[in-house]
Chain A
Amino acid sequence: MNGQNKRARKGTSAGPAALLDRVLALASPYNSSLLLLMVFLVVIIVGLFVIRDLHATNVEAQKMYAGYVQGLQRIGELQYEVQETRRSTFYALTTNDSNLQLEYADQSREADRLVNEGISQYLRQARIPQEIEVGRRLQLDWSGYLGVRNEVLASILEGSTKEAVNLDLKGGVPSFERVRQDLQEIKRLYDEQASQQLANVAATSRRTIFRLIGVLGITLALASASVWAIQRSKMLGAIQLAKLQMGFVASVSHELRTSLAVISSAADNIADGLVGGKDQLKSYGSAIQNQCRQITELVNQILLFASTKEGKNRYTLRPLQVSRIIDAVLDNTAELVRGAGFVIERRIESGLPCVMGDLSALSQCLQNLIVNAVKYSGESRWIGIHAFVHDSEERSSKEIRITVQDRGMGIDRLEMLHIFEPFYRGAAVTAAQIHGTGLGLSLAKSIAEAMGGTLSVVSELAVGSRFTLHLPIVEKQESEMASVTSKPDPSIRT
């Protein structure tokens, strides 16, 4: 025990590496998967943000491009229609035919209507004060030019060509020049905004690239760390399993050696003729029988475990009375219990429905629980067995619960995660030098699950433990059949 304690103390005093190993030791396969899942989720979330950024950048770039092209097209159209307004007025001057002059006047008016629409659209879309100001100025200057244009057209149509020319030179040219300058101002503002937008898009794009690189880096690091952690966890698990297996081998060897030593000693004494009398011989025989039974039980347990892992067990499921199961278990463990000086408190609720199960398997399961209760009760000599109906936590129906409770040393909360693992033996148990193979609870859990149930534990250090076997209740017809055709199973030894 001191050597084991020393070894345990060694394991705890190695520093950060040991701390990491301890952490990783806690990493069961499920925790590794969770870790992997968590990393995956983080990557997904960050990736979504990055995708969102990329999409936003892309949309902004598309919008900017479309806006730039459309804006340039609108400005170009506006400039064209402005020129067309003036050009059509000139064309009217080149002919003396009033009908043709009217055609050109119509063209000029149509062009100025399009210009007015363009200016209104620009003002509607103007956002910054500069745009609004230049838009209003353009509107004002355009109105001024149209006033002159109307007078020029009227003079042309009236036939006062000279008057029209003079009007245009005096009023039309300067006002048109103002309009042209306003349009140039609009174009300049537009170019400025486009450049600014382009810069914004470029900056966003750079930011996104950096973020993406960061995310990829982090993802790679996390993935690598996760892989390393998982590998290390598996390695530690394998080491732990190897240790447990070595422990199992050592324990089994010890158990076998102990029993064989007793048998050998008794056989030697008998062979040496040291045993006289019938009573002494009977006592030696009884001792040899007990040791042989222990060896047989040990081998049976090991074989049962092996067959369970290989999936070769074939259970015969039948409706069984709970009381029958418990009586069978108590019969099997009566000698052990009596010999250890334990008192078993048996409480079975009346009218319990039947359960579907294999009598021998269920007996073995409960037997293992009772043997553990005997081994780990410490100073206490009480074991309680209680059978009752309860609502199932997993299903919407009721279930039979069979509890085996002791008032022993209890189980550490951290160790409770591992007690159903094969070959596992807690540090306290090992330190207390309580012999065992580490297969009992693993077997019991396997049997419970094969019966369609589960095995749970509630424990508190220095208070005790309560193991509960949850079994589903059989259907009514099967239950009636069970009550008619039930027989004792010949495989159960009492």
Chain B
Amino acid sequence: MKFSGPSPIRGNLALKLIGRMIVWRIFPLLLGILVSTTILRAQQPAAAADKQTLQLLLQRIDQLEARVQQLEAAKQQTAPISLPSAPVQTSSPQVSETELQTDNAVTERMDAGKTLLRMRGFGDITLHGDSQRHDTTAFSLGQLNLFITSDISEKFKFLSEIIFEGGPDNIFGETRGENNSFGVDVERMVLQYSRSDYFKLAVGRYHTAIGYYNTAYHHSTWFQTTTGRPFLFQFEDRGGILPVHTVGASASGLIPSGHLGLHYVAEVGNGRASRSPITEEPVQNVVDDQNHKAFNLALFFRPDAVRGLQVGFSAYRDLLAPANLPRIGETIFAAHAVLVRSKFEWLNEALIVRHAPNGIPRVFNTPGFYTQVSKQFGSYRPYFRYQYVNASRTEPIFPDVGLRQGPSVGLRYDASETVALKLQYDYTALRGQPAVNALALQVGFTF
């Protein structure tokens, strides 16, 4: 008896069929499963929230138990010195020698070493790639932000942002530092004094109140809708053109204006460094290279009639003295109109940076604007941003900026209350250079 094996033609056909099945049936099925799983996860925020709540409650119970043990231990240590061992409940005690002996005890004092310091962390990790030459697709550790606050007293409060960031600094086109090394920066260190709603004073290093974005978003990508800041408001060490940080004093408060909700901000600080070369750390944290101070005045409205609307204007003035250049008067005018609500935001800002070198009749104006809009759909928030900045080639301070403009579109997904996934596509048109297409996948979180 002979057995005839399968013919090669049949085998190939079978293979083709199997392949087609895989491609047209199984793969969509898998994709559907993946998508539906994601959708189901998005549609069960309550269950996740419940679990999270339970976990938080369990954590709190653990913390309370630990605290009770601490208290008991502390009480045993301090009992022979200070007060008699009376119960916490208000039950009448027997008259005893111990209580009679407390006649001579010193009045117990509170522990002055106890403070209410809170720490919160922010961080992000990004997978990005773009079409710019010499750039590679890479995972990048973003800024690890330790946000520290302390309620010193009813009127005084301290906050700081200590940033651990990696990679080189890019200061006005000049790169400094190693690619993969980490550095520590104190990006904010502010002591706030709050006298009333009409007067608050902050001293230290803070974000200059130019426009809206700089004071609304600091060093945490988790708070931002997009993966990064608009180019206009990029940090100094990331190629930004604005004096984002200042060391000085800032007064702010409400101006009695009824339903208009008028606020003011008045700042004075060291301003941007102008020591030669300007490629040094632009923020003058310790020493000001000149006596001239930078001033900034901002006014904005938050009318009651439109919930979430803020419209404002600011004017910044500084005097720079870069090396081998005459002094340059720097003036920055910024205007903004933003509508921020829990499910929707629309940010619009425009500014102009004027550099007027002394003795030179020419004024270098660098305009810039951006508009950003986003809306929340459940856990998903799609967004769009368009930004523009046009610096002259002969701009004395940041000649490398040039013209940059382009849209960014993306999707933010809040995986939980503290973790956000963002997928963003950027198209940036550059003067005299090919446009850059960039794609970034970022996870931003707080802890």
> Which of A80, A96, A173 contacts B99, CB < 8 Å?
A80
Chain A 87-115 interface mask (CB, 8 Å, partner B; 1/0): 11011011111001000000100110010
B81-93 vs A, CB cutoff 8 Å, 1 = contact: the mask equals: 0010010111011
Known: A93-B114, A107-B88. A79 touches B99 (CB 8 A): yes
- Interface mask (B105-120 → A, CB under 8 Å = 1, otherwise 0): 0011111101110000
Chain B hits for A90, CB < 8 A: 108, 110
Task: Kindly list chain B residues whose C-beta atoms are within 8 Å of the C-beta of A161.
Answer: 114-116, 151
Residue on A nearest B74 in the bound complex, by CB:
A94
A163 interface residue (CB < 8 Å to B) = yes
Contact residues in B for A164 (Cβ distance below 8 Å): 110
Q: Does B38 contact A (CB under 8 A)?
A: no
**In-complex Cβ contact of A93 among B86, B92, B110, B154 (8 A):** B110
Instruction: Judge whether A184 is part of the interface by a CB distance below 8 angstroms.
Output: yes
B56 CB to closest chain A CB (Å) equals 13
B67 at interface (Cβ–Cβ under 8 A)? yes
| Interface 1/0 per residue, A154-187 and B, CB below 8 Å | 0100111111111011001100110010001001
Contacting pair B86 A169 (CB below 8 A): no
Q: A180 vs B99: C-alpha distance in the bound complex, in angstroms?
A: 13
The interface bits of chain A over 231-275 (1 if a CB of B lies within 8 angstroms of the residue's CB, else 0) are 000000000000000000000000000000000000000000000
Candidates B60, B74, B112; contact of A165 at CB < 8 Å: B112
From known contacts A72-B95, A95-B67, infer whether A159 and B112 are also in contact, taking CB-CB under 8 Å.
no
Is B88 in contact with A96, judged by CB distance below 8 angstroms? no
Tell me the minimal C-beta distance from A106 to chain B in angstroms. 10
Q: How long is the Cα–Cα vector from A162 to B151 in the complex, in angstroms?
A: 8
Set A80, A159, A169: member contacting B92, Cβ < 8 A = A80
* Inter-chain contacts of B60 with A (CB < 8 A): 97
Q: Are A162 and B93 in contact (CB under 8 A)?
A: no
Q: How far is the CB of B68 from chain A (nearest CB, A)?
A: 9
In Å, the complex CA distance between A172 and B108 comes to 10
Q: Assess whether A81 is interfacial by the CB under 8 Å rule.
A: yes
**Given A95-B67, A107-B90, also A79-B154 (CB < 8 A):** no
Interface residue A86 (Cβ < 8 Å from any Cβ of B): yes
Q: Once the chains bind, are B83 and A169 in contact (CB under 8 Å)?
A: no
Distance of A91 from chain B, by nearest CB (Å): 7
Question: Is B152 interfacial (CB 8 A cutoff)?
Answer: yes
Chain A residue at minimal CB-CB distance from B64: A97
Q: Mark B43-78, 1 if CB is under 8 A from A, else 0.
A: 000000000000000001000100100010010000
Shortest Cβ gap from A26 to chain B (Å): 69
Given A87-B83, A88-B88, A110-B90: A165 touches B110 (CB 8 Å cut-off): yes
**A107: B residues at CB distance < 8 A:** 88-90
Which residues of chain B are near A79, meaning CB under 8 Å?
99, 102
Q: How far is the CA of A163 from the CA of B112 in the complex (A)?
A: 10
- CB–CB B67/A163 < 8 A: no
Q: Which residues of A contact B108 (CB under 8 A)?
A: 86-87, 90
Q: Decide yes or no whether A421 CB sits under 8 A from chain B.
A: no
Bound state CA distance, A260 and B243, in angstroms? 174
Closest partner residue, chain A, to B113 (CB atom): A165
B342, CB-defined interface residue at 8 Å: no
CA of A73 to CA of B153, assembled, Å: 41
Main secondary structure of the interface of B (DSSP, over half): loop
Are A96 and B116 interface neighbours, CB within 8 A?
A: yes
How far, in Å, is A77 (CB) from chain B's closest CB? Answer: 5
B95 and A76 form a contact (CB under 8 A):
yes
- Inter-chain contact B95/A159, CB cutoff 8 Å: no
- Complexed CA–CA distance, A325 and B109 (Å): 118
**Inter-chain contact B110/A160, CB cutoff 8 Å:** no
Q: Is B135 an interface residue (CB 8 A)?
A: no
Chain A minimum-CB-distance residue to B106? A177
CA distance A467 to B242 in the complex (A): 153
One of B74, B89, B112, B154 near A158 (C-beta < 8 A) = B154
Kindly state the separation between the CA atoms of A172 and B154 in the bound complex, as whole angstroms.
18
Is the beta-carbon distance between B110 and A159 smaller than 8 angstroms?
no
B114 and A165 within 8 A (CB): yes
- Chain A hits for B110, CB < 8 A: 90, 93, 164-165, 168-169, 172
Q: How distant is the Cα of A94 from the Cα of B72 in the complex, in angstroms?
A: 11
Residue of B nearest to A93 (CB): B110
A454 at interface (Cβ–Cβ under 8 A)?
no
In the complex where A94-B67, A155-B154, A166-B153 touch, is A173 in contact with B86 (Cβ < 8 A)? no
Q: How far is the CA of A320 from the CA of B182 in the complex (A)?
A: 155
Task: Give the contacting residue for A83; candidates B83, B95, B109, B151; CB below 8 A.
Answer: B83
Q: How far is the CB of B234 from chain A (nearest CB, A)?
A: 35
With a CB–CB cut-off of 8 A, which chain A residues contact B99?
Answer: 76, 79-80
Chain B residue at minimum C-beta to C-beta distance from A184: B103
Instruction: Say how far B82's CB is from chain A's closest CB, in angstroms.
Output: 10
User: Does any Cβ of B come within 8 Å of A331's Cβ?
Assistant: no
- Report chain A residues within 8 Å CB of B116: 96, 159-162
Also in contact, A114 and B90, with CB within 8 A (given A94-B67, A162-B152): yes
Query: Which residues from A are CB-within-8-Å of B115?
Result: 161-162
Residue of B with least CB distance to A154: B154
Known A-B contacts A93-B114, A162-B115; the reply to A177 vs B107 at CB < 8 A is yes
Contact B64 A165 (CB under 8 A): no
Enumerate chain B residues within 8 angstroms of A110, measured Cβ to Cβ: 90
Query: Which residues of chain B are within 8 angstroms of A100 by Cβ–Cβ distance?
Result: 64
Chain B 116-167 residues near chain A, CB threshold 8 A:
116, 151-154
* Chain A neighbourhood of B71, CB < 8 A: 91, 94
Given contacts A158-B154, A168-B110, 11 further A-B contacts (CB under 8 A): A76-B95, A91-B88, A93-B110, A93-B111, A159-B151, A160-B152, A162-B115, A162-B116, A162-B151, A166-B153, A180-B103
- A-B pairs with lowest CB-CB distance, top 3: A163-B153, A76-B95, A161-B116
25 example contacts (A-B, Cβ-Cβ < 8 A) are as follows A73-B95, A76-B93, A77-B92, A77-B93, A80-B86, A80-B92, A83-B83, A86-B108, A87-B83, A88-B88, A107-B88, A107-B89, A162-B151, A162-B152, A163-B152, A163-B154, A164-B110, A165-B110, A165-B114, A168-B110, A169-B110, A169-B112, A176-B107, A177-B107, A180-B107
